[in-house]
Amino acid sequence: MSSFDFDIENIRKRMNGALESVRGDFQSLRTGRASASILDNIDLDIYGSRMPINQFATINVPEPRLITINVWDKNNVDAVERAIMGSGLGINPVTEGTLIRLPIPELNEERRKELSKLAAQFAEHGRIAVRNVRKDGMDKIKKLKQEGMSQDDEKFWADEVQELTGQFITKIDEFLRIKQEDILKV
88 to each of 59, 69, 73, 185, how far by Cα in Å?
Answer: 19, 18, 24, 22
User: What are the sequence ranges of the domains in the chain?
Assistant: 8-26+108-184, 33-103
| Average pLDDT of span 69-93 | 84
Q: Which CATH architecture has domain 33-103?
A: 2-Layer Sandwich (3.30)
| Closest to 30 in 3D by CA, of 45, 43, 42 | 42
* pTM across the whole model: 0.69
| Average pLDDT of span 95-115 | 84
Euclidean distance between CA atoms 52 and 46, whole angstroms: 9
pLDDT in tens, 116-152: 888 999 999 999 999 999 999 999 999 998 988 888 9
Helix (H, G, I), strand (E, B) or coil at 95: strand
Q: How many CB atoms lie within 10 A of CB 147?
A: 9
Query: Do 136 and 17 form a contact (C-beta atoms < 8 A)?
Result: no
* Strand arrangement of the beta sheet that strand 94-96 belongs to: 57-63, 66-71, 99-103, 94-96
Q: Which CATH number fits domain 8-26+108-184: 3.40.50.1390, 3.30.70.1020, 3.40.50.620, 1.10.132.20?
A: 1.10.132.20
Euclidean distance between CA atoms 83 and 168, whole angstroms: 35
